[in-house]
Structure 1
Amino acid sequence: MIRLRSLVAAAALVTVAAAHDARAATATNTFNVRITITAACNITTTAPTDVNFGSQPSTATNVDNQGALNVNCTPSAPYTIALDNGQNGTDANSRKMSNGTSLVPYQLYRAATRTAADVWGSTTGTGGNVFAGTGTGANQAIPVYGRVPSTNFAAGSYADVITATITY
């Protein structure tokens, strides 16, 4: 009798379990996961390296040196960098370092070849003279090539300040 009760109880559990499985159902749905990433560029994260021509005799010509701007832009983001005329120039081709009223002409270039086509200025579009690049997501050192065509000026220390502007 005990054995019969155990069999009946076991059968009842199987029936309940089977009934429960027969009634179980599932449903699915989907949802989106989104983010919008905007381009960003930073030209001030790491200080630029100055273009320092050092000490030169007054007889030197075509004194070259270079500095660098450090930029960090979103990967694949296009950007341009413009350089202004400095404190004493009226355009990119007339930059001058000053010592009081004395002025020494110099030029900044986008390429080491330092040709007239390489002059670095602030003109965009066709015939523009800005530097164009693409972000990598890491710091990029962008060389700034400089030249003083002649040092045949009064002895003294000369300086200018250039403002670089990044557009992205």
Structure 2
Amino acid sequence: MKHAFHALAGILALAAFGAAHADTDTQDFKVLLEIADSCSISTTTKPSDVDFGKQVRSTGSATANNGKIYVKCNKGASFHIGLNGGLNYGMAATVAGSKTDPVAGGRAMTNAGKTVYIPYELYSDAATTFWGNTVGTSTFDPPVAPDDKEMSFTVYGKVPSLDFPKGKYEDTITATVTF
């Protein structure tokens, strides 16, 4: 029995010696995640047109029935809404800017034959703040999204003069959300 005890003690000592001298190596790695802002112009609720309606020819101006743009962003997203110059930009007046980066006074509606151009403008508020497409300068910059629900933004319009021939006039504007 004494021999068995010494043999067992020797085996345990060797096992402990082997475990004490085992080599190890470590390496750190990261677990990463980036959550980005996300915004889109709604595809379920289409923008409503800025409609000046039927007007009588005069030297007076016309204010539109307001249009709406619908945007959905994730909660806390910071975003800007821009409006381009439209299809007929610069046709009613010689102005700086471009269709993608308009300045005030450059938008125009045209008749079907594209023979008459009527200047008009779009604003982000009733006080006629020009609504363009340059982030930080002429875009509409609402507060951060309070939640992830769809938000509506009003587009105001004005035609400075109605002294043009009878007819139907239109333009197409592209809205862009930048986030």
Normalised TM-score (structure 2): 0.68
Which structure has the highest strand share of the two? Answer: 1
Residue in 1 aligned with 2:77? 77
**How many pairs are equivalent?**
131
Could you say which residue in structure 2 is the equivalent of 1:111?
125
**2:57–2:164 Cα contact (<8 Å) kept:** yes
CA drift of 1:92 comes to 3.1
1:15-48 deviation digits (Å, cap 9, x = unpaired): xxxxxxxxxxxxxxxxxx9965332111033200
Q: Which runs of 5+ in 2 are unaligned?
A: 1-30, 91-101
Q: Is the 8 A contact 2:71 2:150 kept in 1?
A: yes
Correspondence for 2:140: 131
Report the AA paired with residue 78 of structure 2.
P
How far the C-alpha of 1:123 sits from its partner, in A, is 1.7
Partner of 1:121: 132
Matched AA of 2:109: M
- Aligned counterparts, 1:9-88, within 5 A: 36-45=34-43, 46-59=45-58, 61-65=60-64, 66-88=66-88
* Residue identity opposite 1:40 in structure 2: S
Aligned counterpart in structure 1 of residue 109 of structure 2, from 97, 116, 120: 97
Q: Which has the higher helix share?
A: 1
Question: Is this contact kept in 2: 1:96–1:105, CA < 8 A?
Answer: yes
In the alignment, which of 155, 160, 167 is matched to residue 171 of structure 2? 160
Partner of 2:61: helix, strand, or coil? strand
Structure 1 residue runs without a partner (length 5+): 1-32
| Stretch deviating more after TM superposition (39-48 or 101-110) | 39-48
Aligned equivalents of 2:119, 2:86: Cα separation in 1:
11
SS in 2 for 1:68: strand
Larger Rg: 1
Q: Using a 3 Å threshold, how does the CA distance of structure 1 residues 124 and 35 change in structure 2: closer, same or farther?
A: closer
Q: Percent identity?
A: 37
Q: Contact between 1:97 and 1:158, CA under 8 Å: does it hold in 2?
A: yes
Distance 2:49 2:159 in 1: 14
Structure 2 contact 42–150 (Cα < 8 Å) conserved: no
| 3-state secondary structure, aligned to 1:140 | strand
Amino acid at match of 2:73: C
Match of 2:162 in 1: 151
Q: Give the TM-score normalised by structure 1.
A: 0.72
